[in-house]
Amino acid sequence: MSRRLLPVVALVLVLAVVTGAFVLLYRQPQEVRVVVYAYRDAITGIDPGAEDDVGVVVLHALYDTLLRYDPRTGEYVPWLAERFEKVAEDRWLIVIRKGAVFHDGSPVTAEDVRFSIERALALYEEGIGLGFVWSCVKEVEVLNATHLEVVTDGPCDLRRVASAAYSAFVYSRRVLQLSGAANLTDRKLIEWFNSGNELGSGPYRLRSYKPEREVVLERFREWWGWKVVNNPRAPDVVVIRIVEDPGEQERGLRAGEIHIASSVPRAVLKSLREGGFEVRVADTYHNFILMFNVLRWPTNVTEVRRAIALAIPWDSVVSACLHGYGRVGSGLIPYGFPGYDPELRLGQDLEEAARLLAEARVAGGTELEIVITSGYDEEECFAQLLAGELAKLGLRLRITSLPWDLVKQRGTEVWSNPEAAPHMIINDWWPTYVTPYDYLSLLECGYVTWNWAGYCDEEFDERLWEAYEVDLADLEKALPLYQELQRYIYEELPAINLWDMRHIYVYNPKKVLLPERALNPLYTYVVFFEYVEVLS
Q: Which residue number, 2 or 177, has a Cβ lying nearer to another protein? A: 2
Contact between 32 and 233 (Cβ < 8 Å): no
Bridge partners of residue 96, in order along the sequence: 81
Q: Which residue number, 241 or 503, has a Cβ lying nearer to another protein? A: 241
Break the chain down into helix, strand, coil percent, rounded to 5: 35, 25, 40
- State the sign of the Cα–Cα–Cα–Cα dihedral 297, 317, 431, 239: negative
Q: Which residue number, 163 or 249, has a Cβ lying nearer to another protein? A: 249
CA nearest to 458, candidates 444, 442, 478, 476: 444
Q: What phi and psi, each to the nearest 5 degrees, are found at residue 420?
A: -95, -15
Q: Which residue number, 8 or 363, has a Cβ lying nearer to another protein? A: 8
Minimum distance of another protein from residue 348's CB (angstroms) = 14
Contact between 276 and 508 (Cβ < 8 Å): yes
Q: Which residue number, 130 or 356, has a Cβ lying nearer to another protein? A: 130
Contact between 235 and 32 (Cβ < 8 Å): no
The gap from C-alpha 512 to its chain's centroid, in whole angstroms, comes to 23
Q: How far apart are CA 183 and CA 10, in angstroms?
A: 67
Q: What phi and psi, each to the nearest 5 degrees, are found at residue 34?
A: -115, 140
Bridge partners of residue 101, in order along the sequence: 107
Collapsing DSSP to helix, strand or coil, 311 comes out as helix
Minimum distance of another protein from residue 384's CB (angstroms) = 4
CA–CA distances in Å: residue 397 to residues 257, 411, 423: 38, 17, 10
How deeply is 446 buried, as exposed, middle or buried, from its count of CB atoms within 10 A (0-12, 13-18, 19+)? exposed
Contact between 208 and 180 (Cβ < 8 Å): no
Bridge partners of residue 272, in order along the sequence: none
Minimum distance of another protein from residue 411's CB (angstroms) = 7
Minimum distance of another protein from residue 251's CB (angstroms) = 6
Q: Which residue number, 80 or 395, has a Cβ lying nearer to another protein? A: 395
Q: Which residue number, 64 or 250, has a Cβ lying nearer to another protein? A: 250
Q: How far apart are CA 520 and CA 526, in angstroms?
A: 8
Collapsing DSSP to helix, strand or coil, 185 comes out as coil
Do the bridges between strand 260-261 and strand 533-534 make them parallel or antiparallel, or are there none, so unpaired?
A: unpaired
Contact between 348 and 315 (Cβ < 8 Å): yes
Q: How far apart are CA 165 and CA 431, in angstroms?
A: 7
Q: Which residue number, 61 or 399, has a Cβ lying nearer to another protein? A: 399
Q: Buried b vs exposed e over 103-140: b needs ≥16 C-beta within 10 Å?
A: beeeebbbebbbbbbbbbbbbbeeebbbbbbbebbeeb
Q: Which residue number, 99 or 388, has a Cβ lying nearer to another protein? A: 388
First CA to last CA distance, the chain:
48
Minimum distance of another protein from residue 165's CB (angstroms) = 24
Minimum distance of another protein from residue 314's CB (angstroms) = 14
Q: Which residue number, 6 or 145, has a Cβ lying nearer to another protein? A: 6
* Eight-state DSSP code of residue 161: H
Q: Furthest-apart CA pair in the chain: how many Å? A: 94
Minimum distance of another protein from residue 212's CB (angstroms) = 5
Minimum distance of another protein from residue 64's CB (angstroms) = 24
Minimum distance of another protein from residue 490's CB (angstroms) = 27
Q: Which residue number, 300 or 374, has a Cβ lying nearer to another protein? A: 374
Contact between 159 and 84 (Cβ < 8 Å): yes
Q: Which residue number, 93 or 320, has a Cβ lying nearer to another protein? A: 320
Q: Which residue number, 155 or 388, has a Cβ lying nearer to another protein? A: 388
Residue 47: partners with Cβ closer than 8 Å, 6 or more residues away = 55, 129, 189, 190, 193, 194
